[in-house]
Amino acid sequence: MADDQSRPRKLGCYISEKVAEFSAHPFAQLGFIAICVAWLATGWGVAILTAALSIMAITLTQMVLNRQEERERDAHRRDVALHAKLDELLFASRRARDELAGIEELEEEQIKAVKERGALPLRAARG
């Protein structure tokens, strides 16, 4: 989590993470099934159970999506750092082609073409 988040947001993220972890456990899933069977066995209204399960499903889905967004943000940061390190190694190596630094900015087809012919018109591709 970012340091600039407010205290209520941090608390909400923490609670969301713990509920998602608990809900993903196999015993929790068995517990939900047992609750549904018991609910139906007692003859209580199915509409209330359906509404409750729908709300829980929507909530858990949102929690999973929030976690995925956080993971993607972290992965992007690591990718940017990795590219910076690789660019530095390319510039530092005497045998490496400096033109390869920044190749990640090109389209996939252009990168494949560069790989096949062993040369890169990077300045022309950017311009």
- The domain ranges of the chain are 7-70
- 8 half-sphere exposure, CB direction, 13 A CA radius: 0
pLDDT at position 89: 81
Predicted structure pTM score: 0.43
Residue 68, number of CB atoms within 10 A of its CB: 10
The predicted-structure confidence for 10-39, as pLDDT tens digits, reads as follows: 888 788 778 878 877 889 888 888 988 888
Specify the pLDDT at position 127.
Answer: 42
Distance, CA of 50 to CA of 93 (rounded, Å): 63
Q: What are phi and psi of 83, to 5 degrees?
A: -65, -40
pLDDT at 119 (0 to 100): 52
CB 106 within 8 A of CB 83: no
Measured between alpha carbons, how far is 126 from 105 in angstroms, rounded to an integer? 8
pLDDT at position 82 over 80 = yes
Q: How far, in Å, CA of 85 to CA of 3, rounded?
A: 25
Which of the four pLDDT bands, split at 50, 70 and 90, describes residue 98?
Answer: low
Average pLDDT over every residue of 94-100: 68
